[in-house]
Structures are given as structure tokens and as C-alpha cells.
Amino acid sequence: MSKENLNEKIVSLCANRGIIFPSAEIYGGVAGFFDYGPVGVTLKNRIRSFWRSEFIIKMNSIYEIESSIILPRIVWEASGHLEGFTDVLVECKKCQTQYRADHLIQDTLKIATDGKSFEELSEILIKNTIKCPNCKGELASTQKFNLMFKTHIGAAKQSVNEAFLRPETAQAMFIDFKRIQQTMRASLPFGIAQIGRSYRNEISPRNFLFRLREFEHLEIEFFVHPAGKDDLPDELWAKVKDLQVAILSIPQQEKEEEAKLMKASEILEQRIFSCKWLLYWTLISYDWLVRVGLDPSKLRLRQHMLNERAHYAADCWDIEFQYSFGWKELQGIADRTDYDLKKHSKFSKKELNIHLTEENIKVVPHVIEPSWGLERVIQALLESAYVEEKERTLFKFNSYIAPFQIAVFPLMKNREEIVERSKEITTNLKQFNFQILYDEKSSIGRRYRRVDEIGVPFAVTIDFDTLEDNTVTVRDRDSMEQERVPIKNLAEMFQKRLSFI
Amino acid sequence: MSKENLNEKIVSLCANRGIIFPSAEIYGGVAGFFDYGPVGVTLKNRIRSFWRSEFIIKMNSIYEIESSIILPRIVWEASGHLEGFTDVLVECKKCQTQYRADHLIQDTLKIATDGKSFEELSEILIKNTIKCPNCKGELASTQKFNLMFKTHIGAAKQSVNEAFLRPETAQAMFIDFKRIQQTMRASLPFGIAQIGRSYRNEISPRNFLFRLREFEHLEIEFFVHPAGKDDLPDELWAKVKDLQVAILSIPQQEKEEEAKLMKASEILEQRIFSCKWLLYWTLISYDWLVRVGLDPSKLRLRQHMLNERAHYAADCWDIEFQYSFGWKELQGIADRTDYDLKKHSKFSKKELNIHLTEENIKVVPHVIEPSWGLERVIQALLESAYVEEKERTLFKFNSYIAPFQIAVFPLMKNREEIVERSKEITTNLKQFNFQILYDEKSSIGRRYRRVDEIGVPFAVTIDFDTLEDNTVTVRDRDSMEQERVPIKNLAEMFQKRLSFI
């Protein structure tokens, strides 16, 4: 199966099974917006829960917040987004089609454009006399286009009422930093985490879930003492020290080398990362992605080149996934230094620092930020879990990530005792909060295929023997093996097999 | 404690403990927007989970979706929101302060304005020569103000690019109706559910969490056969038939009577609701609210008067709560008929109906819609759970709704073995996904007060005896009773006491 095919097949399966499909599709849809059906929502919920469990509940000193998505203009002045969160836009003079300049150059000239400035992109377009791919018309001059969605709070349409949908959840964590630090009585190091939607008015949304206009972020701002960026506790290093990951550092990229497998301890020794906390957050993020179910052979860590690194970052890494459309960023991990806290402190005239009582000094912490795009995780997971076998297509989701967990099938729908017993078993299992798909329509074989297709790990079939001996058939999605299990053991068995704790 | 006091105290406790506080507060905040700190987020998460568990997972044929929040203009033309989702705005000619006309009339003349039209409100303002409460200036003429936040998708600022943040999650469920019905192979009756944020550009946000500009909806669109609106299965009626609720029907309101307690069976017999499914959804919603922890003596069901009912609704009820600022809507339950599906069908030119194979006819289902405002549930819960005792203030949250579930305290922080043991117990309990607050600072008494204040149901204290006999003290928030429990029994004990399943 070719790579292009893989994405097409996933897009089509997702639509056909109501997993993920275009928003407002009866009106023709809008590029960059998708809706999630029952399977898709539950997949999202499982990933969110698994993330919350591993990065908040089980960790120490990570505090979750939920901020508003609409934030007033001043926040984005302070953060620099109003000035700098732009892409280069170019429009066809003839047909008015709009293009993102770097994408247009990539697609037309097949050259990389990472880190190219507005001036550089404009020059390339002119030098190569690139025309509109749509109508061959002449292109107008390039312009900077701010990617934030703008709206107004209140009735007046004045700049003082301007507000923007957040393009990242991070800024609210800087704004709320002091409130959280004080009310949770947190001392350094500690983190603030947030799960929620972000908005980017992309010029050219593309690649299914990869580049969207409305999507979800999972972000942590981890605050460390500026002098303690290498002070990682031993018990945390122990969690990642045996990992082995594919690495692509700046020197490797300069020499046009391939990514190479390295042990965590080697990476540490060679000081490839700006600090040990940055390395830790990168490795623990990588480990989590593998446990979600991403194919590790398609993951690598790539360091940002100096010209693509944000001006405030001391170091920045991407966890990249080899999507069917190429190696692309799935998650970013940045050493943001004290840039954001200082900027908000300046604009709000509030002190955003921590008073260290023992030394009696005030310190502005540095920030390590791991930032995941939930939809990019989902895209990578769908590509990793999709399997075609001779007679069936399936998503091999990990049992604790699978959306629907158990299918319940009466062998035949016209035998009342069997149907009744099946419904009774469904109701009982639902008491344990298992997400269950009950289905009595069509043959058992077809029902198995249907639940394989949406990755249900277990199917329970109720048959004539059930009525005699109170046992059922439990069929495993991956091995297709069947075992006979007493009804009274089902709940406990599934609790064990479906749990990640 | 006076009622005004109650809300003030809750607002201040929520800020002081970082539970809920104004968004962008370092910039002075923006009316109608709030952020949630660790306790607040977790409270929200528990309510969401409990809702999902009771209304989706444990029910049959309720399908959850997550749609995009930004939807294009045509959706809101079809739904009627572009034309009709307005409030009446009046501005002071002198100081430019803007008021919602009905609020201004209520506050100034102390009269009810429910269901009053644009013309009626305008007339009242003129007749009573109402002035600006702020500067006594003259008011300009009234105008209709659309409450939807507007933005543009893409670079062009044309009406074809106009899009709006949804003011309710419902419309996406009508738009996606056919996709969900087909892919889930659903037959009538079935429901589509959604949890997510909604946006209303309120002229005058007020009453803490009650009237917000950014908030969260929990909504179900339940589709029934137009001829089957009374066909409620017996096993569902059995779940609600013994409930007793305070009722305020249209005739009672016309006669200016008080709400009166009625049994479910009485309500059914007297045919006060337009159909049995509407009654069921109202009662099961009421029951859920009580199980969340709302004070039942402050809940009543109030039927919409004809002049306040949406033009498409066959019947509509509010579940009202007696907030500290009066009886107000917490949840609406409406019989929306086939209005929405027909409108979207007309605008999209797509068939939004169900083919009943046996009768070989196509039917446009009717819709029963229970719609909760999550923040209104939280406001009512905070007011219900807030208790002042002689020596402490506490939130008596139900154990399965409480944000942080267990506090772990080493008796003293300078005894290494005790601290070590406490951390070990914390780590072990975290493996079961309990949300734990570890605290070693200040006296045990003060630590108890602090966790009472945020409603933590159980506190575990590790002391010198623990080192000898492997037991700990478990203290109950409400009774303040303490019991000695072996460490090895803790996880199982808490799983039982903290679960709602």
C-alpha cells in the first residue's frame, strides 16, 4: 500500500464509520474544520485521560487549568502574536486564489523553506517567476497575514474591544502563573498544564488532521529555577534513562546526515540539549507517544535550526512522525527561557516572579514547554494502527486507547432468551463504565469485521450454550482467538485487560 | 448568612483558592470570562464524567459527537440565529454605557420582562423616561444586538467568509444527524449528545458563573418518531416514576400560584407536559442534578409561558435553581419538534429524515432537547455545598464529585522516615488514578482546614505509629471522624468510597 493511499484510506474509513468527517458537511464543509463522531470523540477522550493521568495525576506539582479561549487584544500584544504570528500570503491577480508562499514554493520548486524570512520568500517567488497553479495568472506581491481569528467583545467595534481566539493555550498559563503558584503554594520546579482548543486561520489547511484551523492543544509550561535547569531529580531521570531514540541534531542536519539511534545517557553526555530538564521532557513525551500506540520506527527527535527557532528560545526540538505525507512535527518541546513571563510582566505591570524565602531573592523562572497537537497524535495513531489483512481492515489500538472497548453480540436476534441475556450482560458491564457497542444485526462474521474496523479489542458473543452454562465467547481482535468465559468473571477480566493503571 | 453574602463569599473563596477567577486578571479581566484553576478544572471534569457516564455510557443509543465551534454563516442563517438571536440594547447618549433593555427595566422598575418584545421593551423605557443609572444621561433609542461572536475564515473579509462562534452546541447535532444515524445504524428513538463550549456576546454578563460570554453546554438532541412521543419504554419510566418534584405549570403561573410538589405519576396523569418523552428527560435530568449534589429544596420545574417559548417549540420547561440571586434557569428541556431538521434540510437541500424500512416511509423525527449550562450547574453546586461551621468553611461535595479526592499529610515534615513513607503512599495511590493533594507545610489542624475549604473528602495522616504498625489515620471531611486503616487496604477502600459506579 502506497503512502498516499494510506491517508486516503484512513480519511475514507473515518468518514464511512462516522469517526471524523468535515464540519458542516451538508453545506459543503469548510477547509480545516472537522467533526468527531462517537468513535472519534471517545478516542480523543481516551488520549486526553491517558495524558492527564500520566502528566498530571501521577506526576507531582503539575497543576491543570482551563482558561478562556477568547482573550483580549493586550494579551496578544504582550505575547508578540499580534506583531509576529503571521504567514506569508500571496494572491493570484487573476483568479484571486490565495496561497501560503512557503507551501507554494515547496510544491512548485521542491525546495525546503523552513526558517525563510518574508523577504527571502518574496524574492524566491519573483526570481522564479512563479505563476498561479490554478489559472497560470500572475501573482500579486506578498503580504504578511496574521493567523489569529479576530472578534469583538461587546457591541462596539473599536480596537479596545478587539479580542482573539487563542492560537495556543500557553499564554493563559503565563498570565495565570502567579495566581496558580500562590494558591497551590507551589515551589520551583512546578508545571501548569492545559488541554483545550486553539485556533489558527491557516491559509491552506491540508493533510487531513495535520494542518487545521480549529484543533486541540495539550500543553505544559514547566517552570524551573534559571540556575536549576540541569537539576533533574534522579528518580525522574531513572524513568527515561534507558530509552533509545532517533536523533537529528543541528550538526547532523548541517552535514545532511540521517537521524541516528542514541541512548538517553549518550545524549546527555554529549550535551546535545540546552539543559537536562528539556531533555527529560522530550524523552518522557516520546515515551508517552509510544505508549499511546505510535510506531516508534516512525518517530524521531529533530532539533530546530537556528533560523527556524523562535527568537526567545534557547533550544527547541520537534518530535517528528513519518506521516504518509512525510516527516513532520507532531510535538514541540522548547526552552522558552523567561521571555514570556517578562513580557507579560512588562505589559501588565505586575510582578511575575517567585520569592525564594531562604535566599530572600525574587526569581523569574525559565520555562520548558512540551506542546502536543492532539489531532497530530490522532493522525499518527491512525496511521500506526491501521492494518489490512486478507479478510479484514482493522485499527490495532492499544486496549486502553480503543474507543469502544467491548462489543456484545447475541448470536441470533430472533431468539428472545439470547437477546434478553445479551442485553442483561450489556447493562451489567455498563455499570463498570465500559464503553460498549451492542449489535444484533447481520451475521456474526460481519459483525466481527465491523468492530475490527473501528478497533474494538474484545467481542462477547452470547449463544445457546450461554443459556445452559452461563459462559460466553470472548474474541480477541488481534489474534481472533476465542475463549469461553463465565459471565461472572467478565467485569473483572475486562477491568484488568482494558486498564492502563 | 444573607443570600448576597453567600455569592460574595463563594466568589472570594474561589479566587483565594485559585478555583475560578477572572480570565486575564493581570490585565484587569474581561466581564463574562473566567479561568479555572486545578480545583475548578477537576470539578468540571468530574461533572462531565458523571454526565457522560449517566447519559451516554450507561444509556442505550445516545451517541456523543464533538463538532467545531466555528461554523460558517449559512448554518446560522438556517438555524434562525442570524436573524433572531438578539437582545435589546440601549446606550446612554452621554457616557456611552450599554445596557440590556430588559435588565435595565427589571433593575429600575422592579417588574418582570420575560417574553416582552422589542417594541414592548422600547415602549416601557420611553414611557417611564428611564435614565442612565451611571450618569443620569438620556438614553438613545433601542437597537437589536446579535449575541453571536463574528469572525472571518481565510484572508478575505467578505460575507461569504463570515463565520460565528456557536451560541449553542445543538445545531451541529442537527447538521450531523444523518451522518451519525447512518454510521451508527441508529433507529428511532436515539440521541446525539455533545459537551463543549458555547459563546454569547452578552451585553451585561453578571452573577458570577450565571451569565457568561464563554461557557460550556452539555446537550442532548433526542430524536423520536413524531407519532411515538408518548412511547416511553416501561424500564425507563421505572427509573423516574417515584420522583417527587416542585412544579410550576403555565396555569399555576397565570393564577400566580407557588410551585407545588407533585409525584411523577400525577404529572403524567394530568398531562402537564406535551409528551411522555419530554417528561422523562425532564425528570431524569432533575434526578441527575440531585445526584450531582444540588439542594433539592432549591430546585423546581417551571413551564415556559406561551410568550417566552421559542416559536418552534411545542412545549418547554426550565429546571430552575434558587440561586442566591433568585430563581433562575439552570437547564432547559424543550420539545423542538421537527423545526431544526426541516430548516437545515431546506437550506442544505439534503434529506434529513429516516427511512423506516418496514413501513417504507420517510419520517422527519421530532426532537426533545435537554440542555444544561455546565457553569450554572457549578454555581448551583457551590451554593448547595458551601457550609460554614464554627471553626471552618467547607464545600460538602459528594465524594464522587469532589475535585481532589484524598489529601496525604506527613504528621511532621522534619522526620525523614515519615515524609518518605508519605510520599511512597502518595505514589502508590496515584497508580489508581486518585487525584491527590500532598501537603507537608504547617500544622495538621491548618492543613485539615485548607483541604476542607476545597472539599477534599478524605485526609490520610502518616505518623509515628505508621512506622511501627503500617496503619494510617483516615479522616472524614464531614464528620471529622478519624479511623485507623492498614496501608494495604487504602486503595480498595477509597475505590469503593469515591466511585459513583
Mean pLDDT per 10-residue section of chain B, whose length is 501 residues: 83 97 97 98 98 96 98 97 93 90 92 89 93 93 95 82 97 98 96 98 93 98 97 97 97 95 96 96 98 98 91 92 96 97 98 93 97 98 97 96 97 94 97 95 95 98 97 97 98 92 61
Q: Is residue B261 within 8 Å of B245, Cβ to Cβ?
A: yes
> How many residues are given for chain A?
501
Note whether B277 contacts A: Cβ–Cβ < 8 A.
Answer: no
Test mutation, A70, A216, A406, chain B, max B CBs within 10 A: A70
Q: Which helix (H) or strand (E) holds A104?
A: helix A101-109
The span from the CA of A261 to the CA of A259, in Å, is 7
Q: Are A69 and B197 a contacting pair at CB < 8 A?
A: yes
User: To the nearest 5 percent, what fractions of chain A are helix, strand and coil?
Assistant: 35, 30, 35
The pLDDT of residue B371 is 98
Query: What residues in A contact B178, CB-CB < 8 Å?
Result: 26
The span from the CA of A247 to the CA of A410, in Å, is 51
**Beta-strand pair A436-438/A406-410:** parallel
User: Angle at the Cα of B272 (from B266 to B273), degrees rounded to 5?
Assistant: 115
Q: Is residue A100 within 8 Å of A203, Cβ to Cβ?
A: yes
Interior/surface letters A11-25, b for 16+ CB within 10 angstroms, e for the rest: bebbbebbbbbbbbb
The pLDDT of residue A445 is 95
The dihedral sign for the CA sequence B180, B183, B189, B191? negative
Nearest to A72 among B24, B70, B176 (CB): B24
Q: Is residue B291 within 8 Å of B98, Cβ to Cβ?
A: no
Query: What residues in B contact A352, CB-CB < 8 Å?
Result: 26
Q: Are B72 and A163 a contacting pair at CB < 8 A?
A: no
Nearest to B38 among A16, A36, A65 (CB): A65
From first to last of its 501 residues, chain A has per-residue pLDDT tens of 666 699 999 999 999 999 999 999 999 999 999 999 999 999 999 999 999 999 999 999 999 999 999 999 999 999 999 999 999 999 999 988 889 999 999 999 999 888 889 999 999 999 999 999 999 999 999 999 999 999 999 887 677 799 999 999 999 999 999 999 999 999 999 999 999 999 999 998 989 999 999 999 999 999 999 999 999 999 999 999 999 999 999 999 999 999 999 999 999 999 999 999 999 999 999 999 999 999 999 999 999 999 888 888 899 999 999 999 999 999 999 999 999 999 999 999 999 999 998 899 999 999 999 999 999 999 999 999 999 999 999 999 999 999 999 999 999 989 999 999 999 999 999 999 999 999 999 999 999 999 999 999 999 999 999 999 999 999 999 999 999 999 999 999 999 999 876
The span from the CA of A375 to the CA of A381, in Å, is 9
Q: Which residues pair with B299 in a beta bridge?
A: B321
Query: What residues in A contact B63, CB-CB < 8 Å?
Result: 37-38
- Closest chain B residue to A144, measured at CA: B155
CB atoms within 10 A of CB A119: 10
Query: What residues in B contact A63, CB-CB < 8 Å?
Result: 37-38
Query: What residues in A contact B430, CB-CB < 8 Å?
Result: 57-58
DSSP string, A387-435: EE-SS-EEE---TTT-SS-EEEEES-TT-HHHHHHHHHHHHHHHTTT--
Q: Are A70 and B199 a contacting pair at CB < 8 A?
A: yes
Nearest to B35 among A66, A197, A433 (CB): A66
The span from the CA of A294 to the CA of A106, in Å, is 27
The span from the CA of B319 to the CA of B282, in Å, is 8
Query: What residues in A contact B89, CB-CB < 8 Å?
Result: 155
User: To the nearest 5 percent, what fractions of chain B are helix, strand and coil?
Assistant: 35, 30, 35
Q: Are A72 and B27 a contacting pair at CB < 8 A?
A: yes
Q: Are A151 and B155 a contacting pair at CB < 8 A?
A: no
Note whether B478 contacts A: Cβ–Cβ < 8 A.
Answer: no
Q: Are B441 and A21 a contacting pair at CB < 8 A?
A: no
Query: What residues in B contact A175, CB-CB < 8 Å?
Result: 24-27
Nearest to B184 among A32, A38, A98 (CB): A38
The pLDDT of residue B3 is 67
ipTM greater than cut 0.85: yes
Q: Taking the mean position of all CA atoms in its chain, how far away is CA B268?
A: 26
Q: How far is A445 from chain B (nearest CA, A)?
A: 17
Q: Which helix (H) or strand (E) holds A335?
A: strand A326-337
The pLDDT of residue B493 is 97
Q: Are A35 and B66 a contacting pair at CB < 8 A?
A: yes
Q: Could you tell me where the DSSP H helices lie in B241-313?
A: 250-254, 264-269, 276-292
Q: How far is B4 from chain A (nearest CA, A)?
A: 25
Q: How many CB pairs under 8 A join A and B?
A: 223
CB atoms within 10 A of CB B269: 10
Note whether A18 contacts B: Cβ–Cβ < 8 A.
Answer: yes
The span from the CA of A227 to the CA of B463, in Å, is 35
The dihedral sign for the CA sequence B287, B291, B292, B298? positive
Test mutation, A66, A82, A405, chain B, max B CBs within 10 A: A66
Note whether B220 contacts A: Cβ–Cβ < 8 A.
Answer: no
The three three-digit cell numbers of residue B151, written as one number: 469572525
Q: Are B67 and A152 a contacting pair at CB < 8 A?
A: no
The pLDDT of residue B501 is 61
Q: Are B201 and A153 a contacting pair at CB < 8 A?
A: yes
Note whether B356 contacts A: Cβ–Cβ < 8 A.
Answer: no
B198 torsion bin: left (phi>0), alpha (psi -120 to 50), beta (else): beta
Q: Which helix (H) or strand (E) holds A332?
A: strand A326-337
The dihedral sign for the CA sequence B211, B213, B218, B222? positive
Note whether A450 contacts B: Cβ–Cβ < 8 A.
Answer: no
Q: How far is A23 from chain B (nearest CA, A)?
A: 6
The three three-digit cell numbers of residue B325, written as one number: 440571586
Cis peptide before A457 (omega within 30 of 0): no
B residues 57-116 closer than 8 Å to A (CB): 57-58, 60, 63-72, 74-75, 89, 91, 98
Query: What residues in B contact A30, CB-CB < 8 Å?
Result: 71-72, 153, 163
